Amino acid sequence: LFLGESVTFTCNMTAGYDSNWSYVFHRNGQHIVSKSDVSKFLQLDLTTDLSGRYQCSAYHKDSPGFIKQSNNITLSVAVSNQANVALQHDWSQIYSGEAISMSCEIKGGGNSKWEYEWRTTTSKPPSRERTVHIRASVFSSGDFWCRGRADPFSSTEWSQTCHLRVSDKPRPTVRADKRLIPVGGNVTLTCSVDNPTEWKYYWFRHTGNISEVQTVDEGKSENVISISQGGVYYCQGGRGSPVFFTEESHRITIEKRVSNMASVSLRPDWPVIYSGETITVRCEISGGRNNEWVYEWSKPISDTLPTNEYRIVDASESSSGNYRCLGRNKQDLYSSTEWSDITTVTVSAAPTPVLTVSPSWLSPGASVTLSCEVEHPSAGWRFYWYKAVPDFREHSVQIRWSYSLINDSFNNNRNSAASLTVSPEGQKQTAGFTCRAGRGNPKYFTDYSEPKFVWSAVSHPAASLSVSPDREQHFTSESVTLNCGGNSTEWRVMTPSRIYAWSSLYSYSEKVNGFTTEMIAYRPSTAVYWCESESEGCSNAVNITIHDGDLILVSPVHPVNEGDPVTLGCELRTGNFTSTVGFYKNDKLIQNTVRGELSIPAASASDEGFYRCEHSGKASPQSWVAVKASSSSLPESLIIGLVVGFLLTVLLVIV
- In angstroms, what is the minimal distance from the CB of 358 to ligand NAG? 11
Q: Is 333 in the site for ligand NAG (CB under 6 A)?
A: no
- In angstroms, what is the minimal distance from the CB of 539 to ligand NAG? 12
C-alpha torsion 440→443→444→445, nearest 10: 120
**Contacts with 488 (C-beta within 8 Å, 6 or more apart), sequence order:** 462, 515, 533, 536
In the bound state with ligand NAG, the residue whose beta carbon lies nearer, of 439 and 585, is 585
- In angstroms, what is the minimal distance from the CB of 626 to ligand NAG? 4
- In angstroms, what is the minimal distance from the CB of 451 to ligand NAG? 19
- In angstroms, what is the minimal distance from the CB of 548 to ligand NAG? 19
In this structure, are residues 172 and 198 in contact, taking their beta carbons and an 8 Å threshold?
A: no
In the bound state with ligand NAG, the residue whose beta carbon lies nearer, of 364 and 377, is 364
Identity of the residue numbered 365: G
In the bound state with ligand NAG, the residue whose beta carbon lies nearer, of 270 and 361, is 361
**Contacts with 9 (C-beta within 8 Å, 6 or more apart), sequence order:** 25, 41, 42, 43, 44, 54, 56, 73
Strands, DSSP E only, in 98-172?
99-106, 115-120, 131-135, 142-151, 154-155, 162-164, 166-167
Backbone conformation region of residue 290, classed left if phi is above 0, alpha if psi is from -120 to 50, else beta: alpha
Identity of the residue numbered 214: Q
Rounded to 5°, angle at Cα 95 from 90 and 96: 140
* Number of residues this chain uses to bind ligand NAG (CB under 6 A): 7
DSSP, collapsed to helix, strand or coil, labels residue 640 as: helix
**DSSP, res 651:** H
In the bound state with ligand NAG, the residue whose beta carbon lies nearer, of 208 and 469, is 469
Rounded to a whole number of angstroms, the distance between the first and last alpha carbons of the chain is: 193
Site for ligand NAG in 334-363 (CB under 6 A): 361
In the bound state with ligand NAG, the residue whose beta carbon lies nearer, of 502 and 611, is 611
DSSP, collapsed to helix, strand or coil, labels residue 351 as: coil
DSSP conformation letters of 460-510: PSS---EEESSSSEEETT-EEEEE--SS-TT-EEE-HHHHSSSS--TTEEE
Site for ligand NAG in 456-475 (CB under 6 A): 457
In the bound state with ligand NAG, the residue whose beta carbon lies nearer, of 159 and 543, is 543
Sign of the C-alpha dihedral computed for residues 316, 317, 318 and 319 taken in this order: positive
- In angstroms, what is the minimal distance from the CB of 415 to ligand NAG? 27
Residue from the set 66, 500, 624, 646 that interacts with ligand NAG by CB under 6 A: 624
DSSP, collapsed to helix, strand or coil, labels residue 185 as: coil
**Contacts with 252 (C-beta within 8 Å, 6 or more apart), sequence order:** 174, 175, 176, 179, 189, 232, 233, 234
Q: Is 158 in the site for ligand NAG (CB under 6 A)?
A: no
In the bound state with ligand NAG, the residue whose beta carbon lies nearer, of 248 and 564, is 564
Q: Give the C-alpha separation, 295 to 261, whole Å.
A: 12
- In angstroms, what is the minimal distance from the CB of 529 to ligand NAG? 10
- In angstroms, what is the minimal distance from the CB of 380 to ligand NAG? 37
Cβ burial, residue 140 (10 Å; 0-12/13-18/19+): buried
Nearest CA to 439 out of 416, 469, 419, 415 is that of: 416
In the bound state with ligand NAG, the residue whose beta carbon lies nearer, of 328 and 585, is 585
In the bound state with ligand NAG, the residue whose beta carbon lies nearer, of 271 and 469, is 469
Per-residue mark of binding to ligand NAG, 126-145 (x: CB under 6 A): --------------------
In the bound state with ligand NAG, the residue whose beta carbon lies nearer, of 221 and 604, is 604
Residue from the set 543, 581, 611, 628 that interacts with ligand NAG by CB under 6 A: 543
In the bound state with ligand NAG, the residue whose beta carbon lies nearer, of 100 and 542, is 542
In the bound state with ligand NAG, the residue whose beta carbon lies nearer, of 291 and 360, is 360
Per-residue mark of binding to ligand NAG, 217-256 (x: CB under 6 A): ----------------------------------------
- In angstroms, what is the minimal distance from the CB of 624 to ligand NAG? 4
- In angstroms, what is the minimal distance from the CB of 430 to ligand NAG? 10
Q: Which residue is nearest to ligand NAG (CB)?
A: 543
- In angstroms, what is the minimal distance from the CB of 607 to ligand NAG? 13
Q: Give the β-pairing of 272-274 and 343-348.
A: parallel
**Contacts with 251 (C-beta within 8 Å, 6 or more apart), sequence order:** 232, 233, 234
- In angstroms, what is the minimal distance from the CB of 466 to ligand NAG? 13
Site for ligand NAG in 273-302 (CB under 6 A): none
In the bound state with ligand NAG, the residue whose beta carbon lies nearer, of 457 and 553, is 457
The CA-atom distances, in angstroms, between 280 and each of 9, 271, 311 are 107, 12, 4
Q: Give the C-alpha separation, 171 to 190, whole Å.
A: 13
In the bound state with ligand NAG, the residue whose beta carbon lies nearer, of 17 and 624, is 624
Q: Is 626 in the site for ligand NAG (CB under 6 A)?
A: yes
- In angstroms, what is the minimal distance from the CB of 610 to ligand NAG? 8
Strands, DSSP E only, in 46-186?
52-60, 67-69, 73-75, 83-87, 94-95, 99-106, 115-120, 131-135, 142-151, 154-155, 162-164, 166-167, 173-176, 180-181
- In angstroms, what is the minimal distance from the CB of 560 to ligand NAG? 10
- Count of beta carbons in the 10 Å neighbourhood of residue 38: 11
In the bound state with ligand NAG, the residue whose beta carbon lies nearer, of 41 and 624, is 624
- In angstroms, what is the minimal distance from the CB of 455 to ligand NAG? 7
**DSSP, res 221:** S
**DSSP, res 140:** G
DSSP conformation letters of 556-569: -SSPEETTS-EEEE
In the bound state with ligand NAG, the residue whose beta carbon lies nearer, of 167 and 360, is 360
Site for ligand NAG in 201-220 (CB under 6 A): none
- In angstroms, what is the minimal distance from the CB of 629 to ligand NAG? 14
Q: Which residues bind ligand NAG (CB under 6 A)?
A: 361, 457, 542-543, 559, 624, 626
